Structure 1
Amino acid sequence: MGVVEEAHNIRVVGSGQQTVVLAHGFGTDQSVWKHLVPHLVDQYKVVLYDNMGAGTTNPDYFDFDRYASLDGYACDVIAILDDLRVPNCIYVGHSVSAMVGLLASISRPDLFTKILTISASPRYLNDPEYFGGFEQEELLELFEAMRSNYKAWCAGFAPLAVGGDMESVAVQEFSRTLFNMRPDIALSVAQTIFYSDVRPLLRHVTVPCHIIQSVKDLAVPVVVSEYLHQHLGAASIVEVMSTDGHLPQLSSPDVVVPILLRHIRYDIAAA
């Protein structure tokens, strides 16, 4: 096993000519796709990996400078695909990994046939011309809560993000993967994500995009999906699901899995 494969805990399952890459968001790891993977393995080769900084990765590999911007994660995606000799893929990116996939596709459009974004946002901060959902003061409070008592912050943040109470299996699962992150790394990653602004680069995306969004999401207002649709340089379609929460593939798999499968199979260009 090479360094890239080991560092990201890369797992390749299934069989098929077409490769589907599943990329998770903040506070989770590849286990967040457990409800989707069984439906893909008969028809597709599926690549799963952990973002650097996830609780399942070796913290010694986490470079605070490299991951101070989303570009470091985009370079990781390209390195993973090149290392596995994947000629092109259907990329499914959740939350921050959706933006990471878009950035990677700008550098290497040859590697992507289409991109599915789930709960994606190009910018979380509000400004006079844009509603991202957060004010600067709210983010400062969030970061301070992470610094002061990370375990307590996880316990409070998980049910808000997932959209359920602490008895929910999905909330417990997200709490576990969130708490597995080293607190200083989690804070650094959160700051990188919440202060990112990919809006100026959206027009450079040339790969067809499927924008999938919960109707109610603590982190991403539903209007953001329409913003993406209007500003992407590539052909795109939007589907707003009747789901609640930022991790619908974990909290509402009965609704989300059929929708994802439909978008994975659907070709915008042929429509």
Structure 2
Amino acid sequence: MGIVEEAHNVRVLGSGEQVIVLAHGFGTDQSVWRHLVPHLVDDHRVILYDNMGAGTTNPDYFDFGRYATLEGFAYDLLAILEDQQVESCIFVGHSVSAMVGAIASITRPDLFSKIVMISASPRYLNDVDYLGGFDQEDLDQLFEAMRENYKAWCSGFAPLAVGGDMDSLAVQEFSRTLFNMRPDIALSVGQTIFQSDMRQILGLVTVPCHIVQSVKDLAVPVVVSEYLHQNLGGDSIVEVMSSDGHLPQLSSPDIVIPVLLRHIQHDIAA
């Protein structure tokens, strides 16, 4: 097993000519795709991996400088695709990974036939004529809560992000993967994501993008999906689902999996 494969716990499942890469968001790991994977492996080669900093990765590999920007994660993605000898893939990115895929596609558009973006946002902070969902004061309080008592913060944040109570399996699952992260790494990654502003690069993305969004999402207002649609450089399409929460593939699989399969299988023009 090579260093890239080992560092990111890369798993390749199924077989088929079409490669599908599944990339998870903040606070989760590749287990977040467990409802989707069974529908893909019969006909596709599915590549799963963990973002550096996820609780399932070796914290010794986490470079605070490299991952102070989303580009660090994009370089990792390109390294994984090269390591797996991928010539073209359908990239399914959740939350921050949707933007990571977009960044990587600017450098190597040939590697991506389409990007399916789930709960994606180019900027979480509100700005003049832009609703991101958070004010700086909100984020400062969030980071302070993470610093003071990470376990307590996880317990409070998980139900808000998922959109359910602590009894729900999806909330328990997200709490588990969130709590698995080393607190200082979680804070660093959280700051990188929530303070990022990718609006200026959207026009450089030429790969077709399918934007899939929950109607109610604590982290991403619905208007953000329309902003992406209007500002991406290539063809794009938006679908707002009746699901609730930032991790709909985990919390509302009955609603979300059929939508994702449709976007994976059909192109925008179709």
Q: Structure 2 length as normaliser, TM-score?
A: 1.00
Alignment of 1:113 with 2:116, yes or no, is no
- Shift of the alpha carbon at 1:88? 0.6
Q: Which amino acid aligns with 1:118?
A: I
Q: Which amino acid aligns with 2:63?
A: D
Deviations 1:129-172 (A, max 9, x none): 21000000000000000000000000000000000000000000
* Helix, strand or coil at the partner of 2:172: helix
Instruction: Give ranges in structure 2 of 5+ residues lacking alignment.
Output: none
Identity %: 79
- Shift of the alpha carbon at 1:120? 0.2
CA distance in 2, matches of 1:44, 1:129: 42
Aligned equivalent of 1:258: 258
Aligned equivalent of 2:164: 164
* Helix, strand or coil at the partner of 2:240: strand
Q: Which amino acid aligns with 2:146?
A: M
CA distance in 2, matches of 1:151, 1:113: 40
CA distance in 1, matches of 2:164, 2:17: 38
Aligned equivalent of 2:16: 16
- Shift of the alpha carbon at 1:9? 0.1
Instruction: Give ranges in structure 1 of 5+ residues lacking alignment.
Output: none
Aligned length: 270
Deviations 1:38-80 (A, max 9, x none): 0000010000000000000000000000000000000000000
- Please show how residues 1-271 of structure 1 align to structure 2 within 5 Å: 1-268=1-268, 270-271=269-270
Deviations 1:25-47 (A, max 9, x none): 00000000000000000010000
* Helix, strand or coil at the partner of 1:116: strand
CA RMSD of aligned residues (A): 0.4
Q: Which amino acid aligns with 1:142?
A: L
CA distance in 2, matches of 1:182, 1:48: 21
CA distance in 2, matches of 1:188, 1:135: 19
* Helix, strand or coil at the partner of 1:42: coil
Q: Which amino acid aligns with 1:68?
A: A
Deviations 1:89-126 (A, max 9, x none): 00000000000000000000010000000000000000
CA distance in 2, matches of 1:126, 1:240: 21
- Shift of the alpha carbon at 1:267? 1.1
Q: Which amino acid aligns with 1:108?
A: R
State the 4+ residue runs in structure 1 displaced beyond 6 angstroms.
Answer: none
CA distance in 1, matches of 2:80, 2:104: 11
* Helix, strand or coil at the partner of 2:218: coil
CA distance in 2, matches of 1:77, 1:70: 11
CA distance in 2, matches of 1:218, 1:19: 32
CA distance in 2, matches of 1:53, 1:202: 25
Q: Which amino acid aligns with 1:127?
A: D
Deviations 1:170-212 (A, max 9, x none): 0000000000000000000000000000000000001000000
- Shift of the alpha carbon at 1:87? 0.4
